[in-house]
Amino acid sequence: MLTNENIQQRLTEKFGEQLTNWQEPYGMLTFTANKEINLKVLQFLFDDAELNFKFLTDLQAVHYPDNKGAELAVVYHLHNWVDNVRIRFKVFTDIQQPDVYSATALFQSANFMERETYDFFGVNFVGHPNLIRILNVDEMDYFPLRKEFPLEDQTRIDKDDDMFGR
């Protein structure tokens, strides 16, 4: 039976102090690594016979505007189908140089997920075979899910604040 303790032990044996911020929110093992080793960690999780994380369930980004030098987090959700175990793996990158190595060579499912993450957050997946916008128009010169803009235009006069509980 594969447990969070077994997974953490195997990863710590392989990568040591390079993996940090171990947590278990809602029972899902979560950890962080430097973005330079994201492919090494993913490959180890995939290849190791005991761990056997062969399925990339989800890949997305999160923008933390107050986290200077590491504003964007790329989050991988991996699934071991044999033992029905899921884990979460995060890497952080600077918003000025948002380069993260692409996982498309290991997981074909990463292709569209990385394109969507690029489209909405601007993460540049180095080595991606076709990193272009997938949902937004090509002419868009910003990334709409970054927290760089106010949620609404405060100068609008066509809204009655009483209708919105303000």
Q: Give the tens place of pLDDT for each residue, 142-163.
A: 999 999 877 766 676 776 666 6
- Would strands 19-23 and 72-80 be described as parallel, antiparallel, or unpaired? unpaired
Cα separation of 146 and 153, whole Å? 16
Asked whether residue 155 is domain-assigned, the answer is no
Asked whether residue 162 is domain-assigned, the answer is no
pTM of this structure: 0.89
The pLDDT mean for the chain works out to: 93
> What percent of the chain has pLDDT above 70?
92
List the domain range (segments joined by +) for residue 112.
Answer: 4-150
Do 132 and 115 meet the contact criterion of CB atoms below 8 Å apart?
yes
Indicate which CATH number applies to the domain containing 77: 3.30.460.80
Instruction: Note the helical H segments in 2-125.
Output: 4-15, 38-47, 110-121
For the chain, list the strands marked E by DSSP.
Answer: 19-23, 29-33, 55-63, 72-80, 85-93, 99-101, 124-126
Asked whether residue 94 is domain-assigned, the answer is yes
Tally of structural domains, the chain = 1
